[in-house]
Amino acid sequence: MEGGGDAFGSATAPLAWHDFLERMRQPSAAEFVKSIKGFIVTFSNRAPDPEHDSAAVQEFLENMEGAFRAHTPWAGSSEEELESAGEGLEKYVMTKLFNRVFASVPEDVKSDEELFEKMSLLQQFIRPENLDIKPEYQNETSWLLAQKELQKINMYKAPRDKLACILNCCKVINNLLLNASIVSNENPPGADEFLPVLIYVTIKANPPQLHSNLLYIQRYRRQSRLISEAQYFFTNILSAESFIWNIDAESLSMDERDFQKKMDWARERLLGLSASSKNQDNQANLDVREQKSQTLKASRDSDVNLSSKDNFQGPGLDTKRDSDVSSNPVERVQSISDLEKKGAAELLKEDDLNKKVQEYPFLFASSGDLTVADVENLLNSYKQLVLKYVALSQGMGVSPEPPVQSMQTVSDLVVSEEPKNVKDAVNFNESSEGSSKTGDDIKNDTLHSEVDTMTTQQTAVDPSYQKAQQNEASDQPEHA
């Protein structure tokens, strides 16, 4: 199929998915639906084999896109409409197969862990100067925006949507460099200026499972569409990953001993965070106990002295005795508000924040990032959180503050939001990082019901496929 160069255009981004779903709901598309479901079921029941899986998916997508041209739902369609159909097909199929093919072998999982650990260490001490990034190209605000774009990669399942997150990140960097060169009256920046910044941003962003995400795009993004600008930026992030894997003292312009010392320090710091936190808690508990013990002992001594004085001076000294006792220091119990402020300060630390993003994937998610299948997990998490919060409050003898009620409905959770086209949104003359998102019309459930009425064969698949069948590819980012 021809085309592909405009695959990431802002105008075609939502149309691909909308058009595909609408046409697949037509009764004349029943044959296509059966073919797609048959492939998904057969594929899902096979043992993982990345190379064979990739070839099978690419072949199926190619054959199906070829069949579109001669089939009724797409009869007389333009090349742009056929391109949209191909995008929709890829999104639908790969969302169904995501749990089956993403990080499906131990080698990929191990590489993800090793790469994430190395970037976690490097981000503790790496500086722009270590990568020879010129001062005029250093802009922490823009870099933070680029990091956020890259960190969205795990919010999506379709290869195109994950690739769009990478391209949006690269666009932010590219625009930063271009604007900086214009201000400084220098030549337009090239790969020598772009790649070091991308490496730095990638290390600072450190998105979990980056290695598997890149492999997933390589294996399952239609090769005919991985061209032009998309290919250029994707090749650059592959180069960035390779550089990070092989980072050593020389590549960072550092002395070998200094590099190893910093890596060891970073490792000890990361590994010692939880241990030091526990030690601090234990020490704090010991200090409180010791202070309470001293307070109690002082109180008892005071009672003894006052009691002996009462034998001679009578009850007129009761008031004095009360004042003596009250003057002794009493340990103040921290309120929930105090604990929340202390915890929030700790959470803002970059290393803690990255860890929490891994442990709690919904921490920075918005309503448009969620799917129907996420509701059950969120409800369970909410119940556990409330029980712990109320129990803590009761244990401290205070009344918990009720959360602000939201008027959000279930429909808010299933309407997807697409990352705004950063090509239009990013203006480096302003420091604003806000972005609006467009909703992606979710008609997956409707498609499922239509498909079920058309298909007479009841299919039995593995649990991962059944879960994927409930999660439609409704979250589609819009490329810059």
Span 211-226, average pLDDT:
95
- Listed residues 223, 254, 274: the one ending a domain: 274
> So what's the pLDDT on residue 116?
96
> So what's the pLDDT on residue 271?
82
> Both tokens of residue 309?
């004085």
Span 35-56, average pLDDT:
95
> So what's the pLDDT on residue 400?
61
**Does one domain contain both 64 and 139?**
no
Span 240-263, average pLDDT:
94
Closest CA relative to residue 124, chosen from 344, 271, 12, 299: 271
Instruction: Say if residues 465 and 104 touch (Cβ distance below 8 Å).
Output: no
**Does one domain contain both 267 and 171?**
yes
- The whole-angstrom separation of Cα 63 and Cα 73 is 16
Does residue 374 lie in a domain region? yes
In the predicted structure, residue 327 carries a pLDDT above the cut 60: no
Q: Is 6 helix (H, G, I), strand (E, B) or coil?
A: coil
Q: pLDDT by residue (tens digit) across 421-449?
A: 554 434 433 433 333 333 343 344 444 44
7 or 255, higher pLDDT: 255
In the predicted structure, residue 99 carries a pLDDT above the cut 80: yes
> 């970073």: which residue's tokens?
266
Average pLDDT taken over every residue of the chain: 73
> So what's the pLDDT on residue 83?
86
High-pLDDT (> 90) share of the chain, %: 40
In the predicted structure, residue 166 carries a pLDDT above the cut 50: yes
> So what's the pLDDT on residue 211?
97
> So what's the pLDDT on residue 256?
93
Does residue 406 lie in a domain region? no
**Does one domain contain both 149 and 258?**
yes
**Does one domain contain both 150 and 96?**
no
In the predicted structure, residue 471 carries a pLDDT above the cut 80: no
Ranked by mean pLDDT, which of 154-163, 303-312, 378-387 comes out on top? 154-163
**Does one domain contain both 185 and 143?**
yes
> So what's the pLDDT on residue 233?
96
**Does one domain contain both 118 and 210?**
yes
Q: pLDDT by residue (tens digit) across 255-302?
A: 999 999 999 999 988 887 645 555 555 555 565 566 656 656 555 555
Q: Which domain holds residue 118?
A: 106-274
> So what's the pLDDT on residue 444?
44
In the predicted structure, residue 475 carries a pLDDT above the cut 90: no
> So what's the pLDDT on residue 258?
94
Span 98-108, average pLDDT:
95
**Does one domain contain both 157 and 269?**
yes
> 């409180």: which residue's tokens?
288
- The whole-angstrom separation of Cα 463 and Cα 473 is 18
Does residue 480 lie in a domain region? no
Does residue 432 lie in a domain region? no
Number of domains in the chain: 3
Does residue 192 lie in a domain region? yes
Span 135-150, average pLDDT:
93
> So what's the pLDDT on residue 382?
76
Long-range CB pairs of 111-116, under 8 A, 24+ apart, other chains included:
111/211, 111/212, 112/208, 112/209, 112/210, 112/211, 112/212, 115/210, 115/211, 115/241, 115/244, 115/245, 116/206, 116/208, 116/209, 116/210
DSSP label at 238? H
- The whole-angstrom separation of Cα 394 and Cα 403 is 16
In the predicted structure, residue 181 carries a pLDDT above the cut 50: yes
Ranked by mean pLDDT, which of 108-122, 390-404, 446-460 comes out on top? 108-122
**Does one domain contain both 90 and 154?**
no
Give the helix, strand, coil percentages of the chain, each rounded to 5.
Answer: 70, 0, 30
Q: pLDDT by residue (tens digit) across 382-428?
A: 777 777 777 777 666 666 655 544 333 333 323 334 455 554 434 43
- Listed residues 100, 115, 143: the one ending a domain: 100
> So what's the pLDDT on residue 208?
95
**Does one domain contain both 57 and 123?**
no
CATH number at residue 20: 1.10.246.120
Measured in Å, how far apart are the chain's first and last C-alpha atoms? Answer: 23
Q: Residue 439: enclosing H or E segment and its boundaries?
A: strand 438-440
**Does one domain contain both 145 and 250?**
yes
In the predicted structure, residue 79 carries a pLDDT above the cut 90: no
Does residue 421 lie in a domain region? no
Does residue 42 lie in a domain region? yes
Span 115-120, average pLDDT:
95
CATH number at residue 182: 1.20.1050.80
> So what's the pLDDT on residue 18?
75
- The whole-angstrom separation of Cα 142 and Cα 430 is 10
- Listed residues 55, 83, 100: the one ending a domain: 100
Does residue 165 lie in a domain region? yes
> So what's the pLDDT on residue 413?
29
**Does one domain contain both 181 and 258?**
yes
**Does one domain contain both 266 and 220?**
yes
Long-range CB pairs of 180-183, under 8 A, 24+ apart, other chains included:
180/136, 180/137, 180/139, 183/136
